[in-house]
A and B are shown apart, each in its own frame.
Chain A
Amino acid sequence: MTYQRNTGPFIVNKLVTSTSFSNLSFNTITLTDYRTSLGVYPGKPALNGLAFSAVTATSAGAQPSIGMHRPSSISGNYGADLARYGLGRGSNGKLGVSIVQNESPVIQYRAGYDAGDTYVSPTYSVVI
């Protein structure tokens, strides 16, 4: 695919309801609140563009949680977002990166060490 510069609107969508997973497999965090500069975007739009994601998690164990963002239809193109070590609230320090192509961005998450990490509302994705 080719990437063309996007003139907007730019989308920020975030996690509204905290979510956790009980296994160490890949899981999908559903982001439901799509917002543009003009307000809430109705429904679940299919988007094209460069996507970034950031994850904030409360770790269930002594190891970091790992959040990854990648589009559902393109495998292998994603960046990892490594949260802090230890119990407590994890970081959304690094950004996952991907390209979305006619799809709604989700954050695909994989716990590296501990099941049951909880992902909380500052978790979000940006599409430009």
Chain B
Amino acid sequence: MTYNIREATMGTFAVGFVLADGTSISSGSAVPYTIEDGTSGHGITVSSGVVTLPLGEWICLFSLETSNNSNHTADIYVNGSIETNFPQIQGFNNSNTQTDLNTTAIPIRSTGSTTVELRVNTSASTYSSASDLVIYGVKVT
């Protein structure tokens, strides 16, 4: 299958986000990923874990590991609404110290102000700094 974006392409970007060890995550709130230092020009912004995507075609790849001693789940939200068509992260308690490092992904065509975030359904804190978010895509004008 081939597919071409008809708009003028500004470039492809791969943007990394990080999440520090011991970061608190509140139930129902966005996981507070932050953009890795040293990336620029992509136009992606983030505020308290809510990522705003510039006009373009993007794929967002989330991973999350917590120190919660019980199972937890996390869902993708687009423009503040839950998106259930894509995989839910199901973090399962692993040896009573951490959950498994789990992942999910969603493709998004942004209008220029489209937001995306990952929200957990149980309060937790990160077990390590292994959790991340990678956004890859094409920014257009």
Give how many A residues have a beta carbon under 8 Å from the other chain's beta carbons: 36
Residues of A within 8 A of B92 (CB): 84, 88-91
Q: Decide if B88 is an interface residue (CB 8 Å cutoff).
A: yes
Chain A residue with minimal CB distance to B12? A5
Contact A37 B105 (CB under 8 A): no
Residues of B within 8 A of A123 (CB): 87
Q: Decide if A48 is an interface residue (CB 8 Å cutoff).
A: yes
Contact A126 B59 (CB under 8 A): yes
CB distance from A124 to the nearest CB of B (A): 5
Among A9-17, A20-28, A68-76, the one that faces the other chain is A9-17
Q: Decide if B94 is an interface residue (CB 8 Å cutoff).
A: yes
Given A7-B57, A38-B109, A88-B92: A48 and B100 interface contact (C-beta under 8 Å): no
Residues of A within 8 A of B89 (CB): 122
Residues of B within 8 A of A93 (CB): 65, 100-103
Rounded to whole angstroms, the CA-CA distance of A36 and B71 in the bound complex is 29
Chain B residue with minimal CB distance to A58? B92
Q: List 22 A-B contacts (CB under 8 A).
A: A7-B5, A8-B3, A8-B57, A8-B137, A9-B107, A12-B86, A12-B105, A14-B87, A37-B57, A37-B108, A38-B109, A45-B1, A52-B105, A54-B87, A54-B102, A56-B90, A83-B100, A90-B92, A91-B100, A92-B102, A93-B101, A122-B102
B contact residues vs A (CB 8 Å cutoff): 1, 3-5, 9, 12, 57-59, 61, 65, 71, 85-90, 92, 94, 100-109, 136-138
